[in-house]
Amino acid sequence: MLYFYNMSSEKKEDLVFKALADRRRRDLLDLLKDGPRTTGDLCRKLRPLDRCTVMQHLGVLEKAGLVIAQKKGRYRWNYLDVAPLRAIYDRWINKYASPSVELLTVLKNDLEKK
Q: Which residues pair with 39 in a beta bridge?
A: none
Residue 39: alpha-carbon gap to chain centroid: 17
In the three-class reduction of DSSP (H, G, I as helix; E, B as strand; rest coil), residue 113 is classed as helix
- Environment class of 66 (CB within 10 Å of its CB; exposed 0-12, middle 13-18, buried 19+): buried
Q: Report the C-alpha gap between 11 and 88 in whole angstroms.
A: 12
Q: Report the C-alpha gap between 82 and 65 in whole angstroms.
A: 9
Q: How far apart are the first and last CA of the chain?
A: 64
Structural domain spans, the chain? 2-81, 83-114
Q: Which residues pair with 38 in a beta bridge?
A: 77
pLDDT in tens, 36-85: 999 999 999 999 999 999 999 999 999 999 999 999 999 999 999 999 99
pLDDT in tens, 80-94: 999 999 988 888 888
pTM of the full structure: 0.76
For the domain covering 2-81, report its CATH number: 1.10.10.10
How confident is the model at residue 7, as a pLDDT? 41
pLDDT in tens, 5-28: 444 345 889 999 999 999 999 999
- Environment class of 68 (CB within 10 Å of its CB; exposed 0-12, middle 13-18, buried 19+): middle
